[in-house]
Structure 1
Amino acid sequence: MGTPGVRRRRGRRFVLITVVSLLVLAVGGAFGVGWYYSGQLLDPANAHPGLPDTALGAAGTPDKPTVLLAESDNTKMPGTWGLVWGGGAARVGDVVSRSGGRVERAMLDGTPPAPNTKVRLETSVWTTDPKVAFGLGFDEVSVRTELGDAPAWFVPATRTDTTWAIAVHGRGGSRTETLRALPQLHEAGLPVLSVTYRNDLGAPASPDGLFHLGDTEWHDLEAAVRYAQDKGATHVLLYGWSMGGAIVGQFLARSPLAGSVSAVVLDAPVTSWTKTLDLQAANRGLPSALTPVAELVSDWRADLDFDRFDLVANPPATKPPTLLFHGTADGTVPVQASRDLAAAADRLHWPLRYVEVPGAAHTAAWNVDQDGYRRNLGDFLTSTIGAPTTAH
């Protein structure tokens, strides 16, 4: 049985072993969650969206065709969207009716998919290229980056102008994301270069095969700016969606070519990865206390300094006139981060115009309010690059 002193020592040892074991399990569990979380963030394979919704068939009339979709948070969103499925795509308009778990939307072009087809609503709207989508002539060009050639679309200008627009899509996206803004940039007389960057389809992979959230991707944007300069550009307008905004922010902060930027447009940009990760954790039912763990693991895997991305705490030295769009229903990048940047703009001496779009999901400000989006973008372009003139 042992003496009372021996039993006490054994009891303390048991408690110590239990506490240490629980701590090891807790740390291991937190690390495991952090690893999973960082993988969702950094691994390009996890950035491609699936087909979460279901089409229920065609409806409407021959002159006003509609499509029926199973009701979800996605399918009942307002505005104009792309509808994509395996082997097909179409454009759909606003919601016509909702009842009995079904959402009816206007068909703007294309043919509705067959009943029970898995589908996805896309903010990009178009899945093709400038010629097919809008009849705009373009060239497929290559931008020489430090990792190799990256494909880009080049749409020539309608006027003689040395200011180019360079459009940068978001994480896991493609150049089709930039198509919504391309016609208006073209109408403003700007040559437009819609770029790809490392880990995009057709572009070089990063050495570790991971996204770096803008920390290295800005080098590819710098290569695109240099390409524009080699073709005669003296100034550039940078246009970034989502992580494309983080890439633009890092370019402004770190590139020696930042002085050539005359204007910036940001659409639901990542202006703080920490706040974005907090929102993503909440979406997954995880405590925000795990965000530092995810950042630590991501830093270890990809050598990332998350503080560097916070444009309020660490604004770039170069702060051109900026137009910032964000939707109040964004569940991917927090609208509050854009509000914080807008509120700090005067203190940061950053000429920034903020446009908040009620009810718009992530990068969906254009989709929900095309007229307002075009009006604000047009006013900004006129104030920063001037009214378009006819080329001679």
Structure 2
Amino acid sequence: MVSGNGRRRWVWITGLAVVMVLVAATGIGAWFGSEQSIGVVHYGTGNAEVLAVRGDLVTLAQTPETGKPGTYWLEWTGSYAMLGDIVSRAPGRVTRKVLRGSTPSVGTPGHFGNVPPGDPQVAWGIGYTEIMVPTELGPAPAWYVPGKGDTWVVAVHGQNGRRKAELKVLPVVHRLELPFLDISYRNDEGAPPSPDGLLHLGDSEWRDLEAALRQARTMGARRFVLYGTSMGGQVIGQFLGRSPLAGLVDRVVMDAPMIDVGMTAEQGARNFHAPAFIGSLANQVARWRTGVDPDRLSLIRHPPRTRPPLLLIHTVPDTEHPIQEAYGLVAVGRRLGWEIRFEPFEQGAHTEAWNVDRARYERLVGDFLTPSAP
């Protein structure tokens, strides 16, 4: 028989073990969250399989990705296809029409995604030149598509993204005959790494955007339109708040931007079914690892000093940067007299407004950019 002292000792030991497990789990969760936020990732895995081909119709194994409505791309070794909306469904299968590119063979494994393949020539048949932007860390590649006039559109991709993610906006920019510069920045493939090998969520990447504008000015640019998706929006926001070149920006387009790093981290915790405070702890771990103050990276609490007219596009179901971030920025705009045109899209995952309604997206961007056209 266990004595009263023995039982108390056993309860105490059990309680201590539970606390230690909870502390360890919280610490692991916070570190994992910080890695999701600031870790550098280069993608390249497949997520789709071609089951059947009939003319210009391609049947894919149905997954959460391939079963989404809208316009997407399938890439495989050495080739690609732009696929239109779903034309038919069957158990475990979806059929889509090839709109552009090649038709894959049955059994082809590939990557189904929401961004164009390759470069401007591959994606849209638009000629370009690759230039090197001299950043403070070394040369970073950028795609330059020439146009008329001295107002350039400069595009900034998101966290662990690639330049090709910004090519969705190129057709409308090209129709307006505006020069287009699609930049890379530190930690991108082909660009120099950051000194610590980690993302800084816009806190240092904005300097690479500034370097790109300086390079563009040597090539004849005088004014700028900035276009940014996801973390690219935060990069632009930091540039507008901290760069002496911010006054050269006529207007800005942000698509599903990272407006508030704290809100983004809390959403990330919810995505993994963890309590919101894990997101806050993850931000503190990220701060310890990088020296970046995540509280400073809120365009809601710290709006930029330079505030050109902004077209803000955001899909309502976004589970990476929740639309509440956009609502917060719109409220700030009203208070400060900042001209923000907010356009929510009722469907589409993160940065998929173009994919679910290309016609509306291009009309919005075209109308917004037209005053800047020469």
Q: Fold-level match, TM-score > 0.5?
A: yes
Task: For 1:152, give the aligned amino acid.
Answer: A
SS of the residue aligned with 1:181? helix
SS of the residue aligned with 2:366? helix
Deviation of 1:233 after TM superposition, in Å, equals: 2.3
Contact 2:266 2:280 in 1 (8 A): no
Q: Does 1:345 align with 2:333?
A: yes
Name the stretch that deviates more: 12-21 or 167-176: 12-21
| CA distances 1:220-261 after superposition (whole Å, capped 9, x unpaired) | 001011112223322211110111111111111121221111
Deviation of 1:117 after TM superposition, in Å, equals: 3.9
Question: What residue ranges of structure 1 are gaps of 5+ in the alignment?
Answer: none
2:277 aligned partner: 289
1:182 aligned partner: 170
1:152 aligned partner: 142
| CA distances 1:68-119 after superposition (whole Å, capped 9, x unpaired) | 1122221122221111234432110011011212111111134443444443
1:139 aligned partner: 129
Of residues 43, 47, 50 in structure 2, which corresponds to 1:52? 47
Deviation of 1:14 after TM superposition, in Å, equals: 6.0
2:90 aligned partner: 99
Deviation of 1:274 after TM superposition, in Å, equals: 1.9
Task: For 1:135, give the aligned amino acid.
Answer: G
1:272 aligned partner: 260
Structure-to-structure mapping, 1:298-313, within 5 angstroms: 298-313=286-301
2:212 aligned partner: 224
Deviation of 1:277 after TM superposition, in Å, equals: 2.0
| CA distances 1:355-391 after superposition (whole Å, capped 9, x unpaired) | 11121221111121111111111111123x14x4xxx
| CA distances 1:285-342 after superposition (whole Å, capped 9, x unpaired) | 2222211111111111112211122111111111110111111232322122112222
Of residues 30, 34, 49 in structure 1, which corresponds to 2:30? 34
Shift of the 115–154 alpha-carbon distance from structure 1 to 2, 3 Å rule, reads same
The alignment yields a C-alpha RMSD, in angstroms, of 2.2
SS of the residue aligned with 2:335? helix
Contact 2:224 2:249 in 1 (8 A): yes
TM-score, with structure 1 as normaliser: 0.88
Contact 1:55 1:69 in 2 (8 A): yes
Structure-to-structure mapping, 1:244-259, within 5 angstroms: 244-259=232-247
Taking every aligned residue pair, what percent have the same amino acid on both sides? 44
- Structure-2 separation of matches of 1:260 and 1:305: 27
| CA distances 1:185-242 after superposition (whole Å, capped 9, x unpaired) | 2332322111000111110011111111111111100101111222332221111011
Question: What residue ranges of structure 2 are gaps of 5+ in the alignment?
Answer: none
SS of the residue aligned with 1:222? helix
Task: For 2:45, give the aligned amino acid.
Answer: G
SS of the residue aligned with 1:44? coil
- Structure-2 separation of matches of 1:275 and 1:56: 40
- Structure-2 separation of matches of 1:278 and 1:183: 35
- Structure-1 separation of matches of 2:367 and 2:109: 40
Contact 2:153 2:178 in 1 (8 A): yes
2:61 aligned partner: 70
| CA distances 1:36-66 after superposition (whole Å, capped 9, x unpaired) | 2222222213x5263233321213xx3xx11
Contact 1:57 1:112 in 2 (8 A): no
Name the stretch that deviates more: 255-264 or 78-87: 78-87
- Structure-2 separation of matches of 1:282 and 1:49: 26
1:90 aligned partner: 81
Give aligned pairs, total.
373
Task: For 1:183, give the aligned amino acid.
Answer: P
Task: For 1:137, give the aligned amino acid.
Answer: G
TM-score, with structure 2 as normaliser: 0.92
| CA distances 1:118-140 after superposition (whole Å, capped 9, x unpaired) | 43322213x12223333333211
Name the stretch that deviates more: 338-347 or 142-151: 338-347
Deviation of 1:21 after TM superposition, in Å, equals: 4.2
